Chains A and B, each alone.
Chain A
Amino acid sequence: MNRLHEWLRDRLGLEALQHVADKKDVPVHRHSFWYYWGGMTLFLFGIQVATGILLLLYYRASADEAYESVRFLMTQVSFGWLIRSIHSWSANLMIGAAMVHMFSAFLLKAYRAPREATWLSGMVLLGLSLAFGFSGYLLPWNELAFFATKVGTDITGAVPVIGPFMLRFLRGGEHITGGTLTRFFGFHVAILPAVTTVILGVHLYLVMRHGMSVPPSVEGRTPPPPRMKFVPNFLLRDMVGWLAALALLALLAALFPWELGLKADPYAPAPAGIKPEWYFGWMFQTLRVLPAHILGVEGELVGILGIGLGGVVWLLVPFLDDPRGQGPRARFWRWLGVVAIIYVVVFTLLVYRGAKP
């Protein structure tokens, strides 16, 4: 083992890596718990890549065969049911972890200088994971997915100016057809992974470069917080978390296997209660509760613009907040962050409580 290690080290120049890894450390304080969520998201993304590649061996991306190939996978392929259920569940867990990671970074003001670019790349990654979720959801070509995609792209179409073009771009035409499926497949397995790889690389490099941000409440303290080595201490703790996530995935895949549903029929009427996946839920619910017209403008449009505006503000928070992370402005943004979290959580839950259509 050791000789192999030496051999690799000499050829790959691993000492440099080892050196960097040895130097890296992580501050230890009462908010350190939140540092693990980035790694958790990365781990779950790794699961997605691995299971996704495995699914590629059996999945067929045409309207005629997609559903049947998934069914074949679930029934005829050894452990096919397991790979598929893990892929579907891990997608949800990953987006959940990403959101926890984002919200904790927001509240702990990790976006302050010099980490603005980290924040921006992170927001892009969140958008990419939502795109992954949206495109992947259609691939089994079942009833729920078909209509959820229809609703989702319809809402995209309502965006002013670029909406109709975006709708046609996403759908590969005016309506959702086999062409849409092929296109979404291309997004899901090629375009999005390529873009994500680049942005993820940037994000990870920035994290390595700037190290972990210390929240304002801890920063000012003397003496400064103790630090633990990244390798092996933090990493081992990361792995405990990852193992817990793995155990959760195993439980979910076995106890709540992902449904196959009915094959999509474009000519059938939409079944009742169509809704998008939970991570779009709060946006969906917001649009649902808005009245048809607000001050003469279509309610849905107001909602879309409002959410869009909110997103832009959220994105630009590193430049809007107090750079020290203290004072009234900082308090305002923290308060806004709490309100946003509560809003998102409540509205996500409302989707499932059958709130006003």
Chain B
Amino acid sequence: MRPLRTLIASLAALALLAALPAAAAAARAGAKPQNSCLDCHRELDDARLAAPAKAFREDVHGAHGLGCIGCHGGDPTDTDITSMDPDKGFKGTPARKDIAEMCATCHANVEFMKRYNPQPYIFSMAEFRTSVHCKRIEEGDPKVATCTNCHGVHGMLSRKDPRSPVHRRNVPATCARCHNPEYMKGRTAPTDQYALYRTSVHGKALLEKGDLSAPACNNCHGNHGAVPPNTRDISLVCGTCHGREGELFAKSTVKAGLELEGKRGCATCHGNHGVQLPTDALIGTTGAGVCGRCHERGSAGARATDVIVPAFHALKARIGNADSLLDVADRLGMEVEAGRELLKQADDQLVNVRATLHGFDTKQITAVLTEGDGLADQAISQARAALKDWRTRRIGMAVSVVAILLMAGLLVLRIRRLERGAGA
């Protein structure tokens, strides 16, 4: 009796256990929305047709529930080729000029995007229409970028993913896919941007050092409304990060002059794509100095540079002088902390001048130079005082040593006298 019941119970348990995976599979199959597109295309031999399905596994849209039909239409429940029936809504591969509108149906829809993110980026079709890319596509140009060219399409990754072509570090290379001499052959647009950018201080910071605060193409040109900045925009663009210089420049009297007549704001002196770390050699009218490029001899501007440039180099020289004097005092063993503090402050003023130059206001610049001069002079007098102290000590020492040796000599005489007299 007992053994039989045990046997039946065990068999029942085993049957249940065996049934669980099958039940789960059935449940899963029933719960998941059927995607016959992926199922079929994944198995195809033709690489061109299979690739999108395989890539879709990583796709950011796919992860949020937007499947193939979202863009291509069709019937995902139909496991036959009839799923691609236009009557069932199948759109096939969208035409290039329709892609932006298609993406915009979701990405420009605030209500919709808010389902995925409380603070979504809302794509603006109006903005995109201002861009050169959009205009050219609508003219029928086949070689111009639209959404999928930059963001990818099947297997699209979030821009925060380092593998995404629109991750900040990858943006320059993505733009350069088209903006290079071979691809752009026959067009009038310049093609040296990427090559120049890679040599620039921004490019080196972003691409070599991985500094994500450095600008990529879109930071200056915009994302979806990409245009070469209007000459009026340049100083605003640069001023986004280079706040102080931008602020000073905006208030300056030469801003207008540097933005009309084909001059290009900041880029006039600093260049744009190939911008290098500015050196003091840029300050001046000769050699690498940029002032002389515009300011002809005898003009008001030239007269201002004649005042500013020598004063700037004089301050640098003063600081250098103070530095070496302090060094000398230091090596002689004198304490030079106070002098060094002053020198640091003088140096701070030098840094200040380099920024203040962008205001092109002689009075303002000269004021900073004078302050720097004052501090450097104080540092120099500290150093000189230390050296004077050192000389005083030497003299004091010499006098003391002489006195001591004199005394020693007198004592020797005393000893001699003592011993001569006593006959000892």
Contact = CB atoms under 8 A, between A and B. Distances in A.
B404 interface: yes
Contacts of A237: 415
B394 A71 contact: no
A251 B337 contact: no
Interface in B378-416: 393-394, 396-397, 400-401, 404-405, 407-408, 411-412, 414-415
Contact of A251 (B335, B397, B418, B424): B397
Contact of B397 (A229, A232, A254): A254
- Give chain A's interface secondary structure class: helix
Contact of A75 (B335, B401, B407): B335
Interface stretch (A172-180, A255-263, A337-345): A255-263
Contact of B411 (A81, A243, A256): A243
B335 A236 contact: no
Given A236-B418, A259-B333, A253 B407 contact: no
- Which 10 A-B pairs have CB atoms at the shortest separation, nearest pair first? A254-B397, A257-B333, A243-B408, A247-B404, A75-B335, A247-B401, A250-B400, A240-B408, A236-B415, A254-B393
B161 interface: no
Contacts of B334: 257
Nearest to A74: B335
B424 A233 contact: yes
A309 interface: no
> What size tier do the contact residues of chain A reach?
20 to 34
Contacts of B424: 226, 228-229, 233
B424 to A, nearest CB: 6
- Give chain B's interface secondary structure class: helix
A254 B404 CA distance: 15
> What size tier do the contact residues of chain B reach?
20 to 34
A202 interface: no
Contacts of B405: 243-244, 247
A236 B404 contact: no
A75 B337 contact: yes
B139 interface: no
A306 B152 CA distance: 76
Contacts of A259: 333
Nearest to A227: B424
A269 B408 CA distance: 49
Contact of A233 (B397, B412, B415): B415
B411 A239 contact: yes
Given A247-B401, A251-B401, A254-B396, A240 B411 contact: yes
A236 B397 contact: no
A236 B411 contact: yes
Interface string A239-281: 1100110110011011111011000000000000000000000
Contacts of A232: 418
Contacts of A229: 424
